[in-house]
Amino acid sequence: MLIKKLVTEGFRNIEDNSYNFSSDGIILTGKNGQGKTNILEAIYILCYGNSFRTTRLADCIKHDRESFTISLVFTDSDNLDSVISVGYDTAEKLITVNGHEIKDRKDLIYSLPCIVFSHNDMFFVTGEPENRRRFFNQIMTMYDLDFFDDLRRYGQVLRQRNAAVKDARIELLDFYDTNLVAYGMRIQKARNAVCNAFNSIFPDIYSSVSGEETKISVDYRPSWSANLSDTDILEKLRLQRETDIHMGTTTSGPHRDRFIINGKDGPFVSSASTGQIRLASIVMRIAQAAFFRQKTGRNPIMLVDDVMLELDSEKRMKCLSAFGKYSQIFFTFLPDEKYFSEEDSRSFRKFTVNGGSLYEEK
């Protein structure tokens, strides 16, 4: 897979234009605020239908416009050219693949597997449990259609149950609880399996890149004990209904699961330096890519948004070596950053980004 061309119109500060990215490696260089990350965001939206920076696509509309349209041409796994387009205005989002409208985002995300490395990845280590759940959900939805469907159906039932709880509609809860447990138990079983598999990859990469003997791993702590049967959990939900009604929400289930990143002496974040936390977040993405390759035999597209700035030169080089195989990789750098030797950098197409305009370096 290779992104050959990106076309933008009304997107962020990026100049309306067509950009040729026909290369295995792309480097975007520029000062802060010039639009480097906006290019990566446009590509990500075309891969997933949403942004890694905001939950509101309206934020991506250029300040003097009412809508944006972005599209890309890519070579698929059969070596055929395909076109993905996303248009958005304040009323609706329109996604098409080869001219056919995509109603279900699930039909988009398997077309062009993509992994982004961004500054917000640090929240996988330091942030709320929701951040780590989102990380592992993305790992799994990149290759597992059944998990994607279970997660979506669980979310729908959870919203219905929460509405019933808020209105004290107890007569509806038996029905919702049965479905919540059915989907929730499958989610927990899948999460347990993926966490075990992730731990066969993540610690070794961190140790190799960091040069430390620190034992780092992820501990999955489900909201419902794995030892409980469906009947046991249904009874648990029944017994906590009064609490749920008082709180106005469902207080147990996979939406409350926790993933704890541990070092040798307990929670990693308790003793790790800022540099170690940054490195761990980068390695989590590297491990995500390795896990995806292991599960699918495919190489992802990688978007690397200047996340290695805080690392010393030795760890930067080790991270770059640990990236493994990819279909295509995009880097954003500040001016004068040197992550590659002169010889290695010749294999990349290089662009300067200034005020939303891209200028290819010859």
The pLDDT tens digits for 260-280 are 999 888 889 888 888 889 999
pLDDT band at 343 (very low <50, low <70, confident <90, very high): low
Residue in this structure with the two tokens 């993509």, named with its chain if needed = 114
Burial (Cβ within 10 Å: 0-12, 13-18, ≥19) of residue 225: exposed
CB-based burial, 181-202: b 16+ in 10 Å, e otherwise: bebbbbbbebbeebbeebbebb
pLDDT band at 312 (very low <50, low <70, confident <90, very high): confident
Q: What is the pLDDT of residue 133?
A: 95
Average pLDDT over every residue of 299-309: 90
Q: What is the pLDDT of residue 64?
A: 87
Average pLDDT over every residue of 80-95: 89
Q: What is the pLDDT of residue 243?
A: 94
For the entire predicted model, the pTM comes to 0.90
Q: What is the pLDDT of residue 344?
A: 63
Instruction: State yes or no: pLDDT of 78 exceeds 80.
Output: no
Q: What is the pLDDT of residue 140?
A: 93
The pLDDT tens digits for 348-360 are 889 999 999 999 8
Task: Retrieve residue 197's tokens.
Answer: 């598999």
* Mean pLDDT estimate for the chain: 90
Instruction: State yes or no: pLDDT of 342 exceeds 80.
Output: no
Q: Please state which architecture CATH assigns to domain 1-113+298-362.
A: 3-Layer(aba) Sandwich (3.40)
CB-based burial, 101-123: b 16+ in 10 Å, e otherwise: ebeeeeebbebbbbbbbbeebbb
Q: What is the pLDDT of residue 22?
A: 86
Q: What is the pLDDT of residue 110?
A: 79
Task: Retrieve residue 175's tokens.
Answer: 């029905």
Q: What is the pLDDT of residue 117?
A: 94
Q: Which residues lie below 8 Å from residue 305, measured CB to CB, with a gap of 6+? A: 36, 37, 40, 116, 117, 118, 119, 332
Please, what's the largest Cα pairwise distance for the chain? 70
pLDDT band at 346 (very low <50, low <70, confident <90, very high): low
The pLDDT tens digits for 106-124 are 788 778 889 999 999 999 9
